[in-house]
Structures are given as C-alpha cells and as structure tokens.
Chain A
Amino acid sequence: ETGVTQTPRHLVMGMTNKKSLKCEQHLGHNAMYWYKQSAKKPLELMFVYNFKEQTENNSVPSRFSPECPNSSHLFLHLHTLQPEDSALYLCASSQDSSSGYNEQFFGPGTRLTVL
C-alpha cells in the first residue's frame, strides 16, 4: 500500500469520449502531480499542485484538464484525445513541491488506451 490510489487502473476510450482519472492520497501531503509515462521515455511531468494551487503546467495540450479540489484529491479530465496520448498516467504526492528533501510517492497508474 503506497498511500496513493488511482482509478481506474485501465481505461480504453475513443477519441470523442470524455473521461476522468482520479487520484487520492492518504499521506497528509500538500503537493500532487500528474505524470505521463510512455515506453522507453522519461517520465513527463504534466501538472503540479501545491497547497491546491497549480504551480506547473508543462505545455500540456488543453485536451488534458486537471482539477484539485483539495490537497487529497486530484483529477485529470480527458476529452478528444489522440492515439498518441495512450500511455501510463501516474499520480504522485509529496509533502511540498517547493522545498528541499521531497520524496514523491506514486500511485499504481492508469493505463490509458485511445482508439
């Protein structure tokens, strides 16, 4: 049990669908992250929230829309995705995104396939 849960674990969607990924952390952390992991590529940071405020948006296309209603929950809303968006989407949390030692704890990920 990593303390970070993600649902669903697997998702298949068409390009015209709208779906949402959910992440919840039970560690009392203040920072949450969305990453995209494609085969044989580095983890790509998508969004960072620190104390519910978005602090990072790494030029992510608008078809990905994050939402952080509180420090424990993070959503990624998906609409009109492309097949190249198929990947593993990882959520992580840490105590704080803007200070020194700051280990990130990862959820198990959502394996997304866009048809």
Chain B
Amino acid sequence: GQNIDQPTEMTATEGAIVQINCTYQTSGFNGLFWYQQHAGEAPTFLSYNVLDGLEEKGRFSSFLSRSDSYGYLLLQELQMKDSASYLCAVRDQDYQLSWGAGTRLILKP
C-alpha cells in the first residue's frame, strides 16, 4: 500500500527556519504536494513538485528528490501565523493522492 511519513510535531521560534521532511512509498509517482491547515480550517495549497530540485515561493520553498522518495518543505523567517499543520501528499501512477498524517508546527515567540 501507499505510505507517507512525516514528523508528527515540530517546534520553532519566531524568525527561525524549519524544514519539514516527507518520505514516501507509492505505486509510481506523479507529484508531491504540500498543504497548510490551520486548526479548524480547510487545507490550503502551498506547493507542488514533480521534478527534482528546489521550488522557491517567497518564505516557503519545497524540495524533491525522486531517487530518494523524499521531499521537504522549508519555511523561513517564521511568523506566529505559520503555526499550523503541514500536510504532505503524493500522487501515484493512477493520479490518486495519498496523504501523510500532517506535521503540527508550534511556534514560540
């Protein structure tokens, strides 16, 4: 079956940098997604990687290594509003998404 692994929880301080890792085992690969979900709200799309390398979008960047079945989300200059859960999802050969359980990011002033 499909398996997506990411840390359950991470803690960081305001202004710092944090990297949230995601490893996957899926039947084929057609892209890795990151979503942000604030408590009690809907997940919202952050990034998409299908080719190896780093995609930069302002304070958030996402990286993919298909040979290692690994990706990460890098958050820089952390702000208190970044406190949320970050969901990794991988699309398989049938274009179906499998989701990780999410990484809860706790920020301290």
Residue A43, interface by CB 8 Å: yes
Interface of chain A residues 66 through 115 with chain B (CB within 8 A)? 90, 97-109
Looking at the assembled complex, report how far the CB atom of A94 sits from the nearest CB atom of chain B, in whole angstroms. Answer: 10
Interface of chain A residues 39 through 63 with chain B (CB within 8 A)? 40-43, 45, 48, 56
19 extra A-B contacts, CB within 8 A, seeds A100-B30, A108-B41: A2-B42, A2-B44, A4-B42, A40-B101, A42-B100, A42-B101, A45-B99, A90-B42, A90-B43, A97-B95, A98-B95, A100-B31, A100-B95, A101-B50, A102-B91, A103-B33, A104-B97, A105-B45, A109-B42
Q: How far is the CA of A98 from the CA of B89 in the complex (A)?
A: 16
Interface residues of B (CB under 8 A from A): 4, 8, 30-31, 33, 41-45, 48, 50, 87, 89, 91, 95-102
